[in-house]
Structures are given as C-alpha cells and as structure tokens.
Amino acid sequence: MKNSLLISCFLLLYSCLQAQDADKLLASVKAKLESVKDYTGEATLSVNVSFMNVPDSRVKVYFLQPDQFKILKPDGISILPKGGMSISLNSLISGKEFTAVPAGYTSMNGRKLATIKLLPVNENSDIVLSTLLVDETTALVWKATTTTRENGTYESILEYGRFARWGLPDKILFVFNTNTFKLPKGVTMEYEGSKKAATSKPQGDGKGRVTLVYSNYTINTGLKPALFK
C-alpha cells in the first residue's frame, strides 16, 4: 500500500515533469518561429493530386504574424487545399495557445525526435489535434500532423537547411486526403481522346501532395496586412 502510493506519487511527478518538458520544448519552438514577424519566400510549387493537372510554378509565399499566410503566383493561378495555412508552421503555431502533451520519442531518417501532441486551448479552434515531431537540440519541427474539424487531416514533412536558425524550412511536403473530393460531372461534351488519356493515368492513393521548395526567404521586412486581403 505504502509502496503503491509512493509509485503513484512518483508517476504523477514524472508525468508533470514530462509535461513541463513538452511545454518547454513547445515554447522554444514557438520562440524560434515568433522571431519571424513576417517573411516573403520564393519557392517552386508542385501540386500532385490525381484529378489535377497543374504545372510546377514559381510562387511567392507571404507570411505575417500571427497567422496571415498566402501563396501567390504572380500573373497566374495557384491552387491549394483549403486549410493550406497549416503548410506554414508559423501560422499553425505562432500566437496560439496549446496544451502540450508529451508522447515519447521516435526516430525519423536516423534522427531522434520528440513527439508532442498539441491540444488547442480555444474550444472553437478549427484544429482538433496537432502532433509535432521536434528535434530537441535545434527546436526544429520535422513533421507535423494536424487534424481539423473542417478539412480532415494534414501532414507536413519539413526539411531544413540555410534558414534553419529562423525555423524556416527549405522544403515542405504537404500531404492531404482527397478521397472525399468529387469533381462535378461536366455538363459540356467531353472529348473522348482526352477521356481515354485521363482514365489511363494511375489512380492515386487517395492522397494529394503539395511540395514547396524554397529558394530564398526575405525576413522581417514589414509586410502590410493589406497584402493578405
């Protein structure tokens, strides 16, 4: 009895300590991200969705604290899944309140990463749960999985390089579900030749992928909120 009480106390203390560690880690991730008030990124956007035929394009990516985020193709059309804001960790995490829950460690590409689950404090938040895989030494998030109320689950896989000290990735692979999406049947006549070509394309795994490869960032130049209107 005495022992079990002792063990319980220990476990409680341990988990509190662990939660404290998770909070600390989240804080350091946030601190790193929040050091970027705004940025303008130049990137190549590739969209790989089974029912979309979009060429790779040069885009500009804009971000402004706390969660203003926009991808623009100058003079052209860009198409991104709804909730694409979570493509940017900055807009996902910056300025938001979360309860962080530790979930142990995992290994990705030979890198030991801490898993933290984030539960939003605000009950009306669209985000239900986010899971971050964080490198404790650099406070860099290598993978984020976000479940939303409206738009399903997203997965971001990030790679860092030249802009790691700002917490900004060189490459993001963004994976989302496309199973539920149905294109409307066209009312106009379709060309049989095109149909044959389209049906011969391999069916996807029900997931869409968007890749952003950044070539450059311009950080904290004082972007105007009007840009995001």
Q: Which residues contribute to the site for another protein (CB under 8 A)?
A: 50-55, 57, 70-73, 75-82, 84, 151, 180-186, 188-199
Q: In whole angstroms, how close is the CB of 112 to another protein at the nearest point?
A: 36
**In this structure, are strands 68-72 and 171-177 parallel, antiparallel, or unpaired?**
unpaired
| Closer residue to another protein in complex, CB, 97/205 | 205
Q: In whole angstroms, how close is the CB of 37 to another protein at the nearest point?
A: 23
| Closer residue to another protein in complex, CB, 5/189 | 189
| Closer residue to another protein in complex, CB, 92/132 | 92
**In this structure, are strands 38-48 and 111-120 parallel, antiparallel, or unpaired?**
unpaired
- Alpha carbons 131 and 10: distance in angstroms, whole number: 26
| Closer residue to another protein in complex, CB, 123/192 | 192
- Alpha carbons 226 and 229: distance in angstroms, whole number: 5
Cβ atoms 161, 170 nearer than 8 A: yes
Q: In whole angstroms, how close is the CB of 217 to another protein at the nearest point?
A: 20
Q: In whole angstroms, how close is the CB of 149 to another protein at the nearest point?
A: 14
Tokens of 139: 């406070």
| Closer residue to another protein in complex, CB, 51/105 | 51
Q: In whole angstroms, how close is the CB of 122 to another protein at the nearest point?
A: 23
Residues facing residue 156 across a β-bridge:
144, 174
| Closer residue to another protein in complex, CB, 82/112 | 82
Cβ atoms 92, 111 nearer than 8 A: no
Q: What SS3 state is found at 51? A: coil
| Closer residue to another protein in complex, CB, 84/167 | 84
Cβ atoms 162, 42 nearer than 8 A: no
CA angle 54/56/61 to nearest 5° reads 110
Q: In whole angstroms, how close is the CB of 137 to another protein at the nearest point?
A: 35
Q: What DSSP character marks residue 227?
A: G
Across 109-186, where does the E strand assignment appear?
111-120, 127-135, 140-148, 152-159, 171-177
Q: In whole angstroms, how close is the CB of 180 to another protein at the nearest point?
A: 8
Q: Of 171, 162, 110, 155, which Cα lies nearest the Cα of 135?
A: 110
Q: What DSSP character marks residue 189?
A: P
